[in-house]
Amino acid sequence: MTKKMMSKLTLQILKALVVVDVVVILFSLIFFVINMRWNTQIGFISASLVMLASMNAYKRMVDARVENNIITMDDSRDTIDKLEDVHDLYSEEVKEDENVDIRDAIKDEKSRMKKNRRSLG
């Protein structure tokens, strides 16, 4: 994206935030007292600032990756998944061995069970 497109997108988001803020102001004026209006405004403004800062940080991260030609090969797992589940133990994809014969697997399991049996005598 070019800077012009990004600024256009940012302006659209800011316009949407202003419209939502006006609706919140009208709603709070109709149904709540003045103290509640101040609370809604402080909450809305702080949430909007956090959202805009997050978008800006993400944009800078993507731009830095594009600039340094860092291409992520595995798009199915994001950074948080890689940190929390290093060995991919909790993935939703189930990897099955289709080449394993059921009869051989049962025989192997039975032989393991026989080895682990404990006898009294």
| 5-61 pLDDT, tens digit each | 567 887 888 889 889 889 888 888 888 788 888 888 888 889 989 988 998 898 888
Q: Which amino acid is at 12?
A: Q
| 62-119 pLDDT, tens digit each | 888 888 887 766 566 677 777 777 777 777 766 665 676 788 888 888 888 888 777 6
Whether 1 shows a pLDDT value over 60: the answer reads: no
pLDDT at site 19: 92
CA distance 24 to 40: 7
Contact 77, 65 (CB under 8 A): no
pLDDT at site 94: 62
CA 87 to chain centre: 18
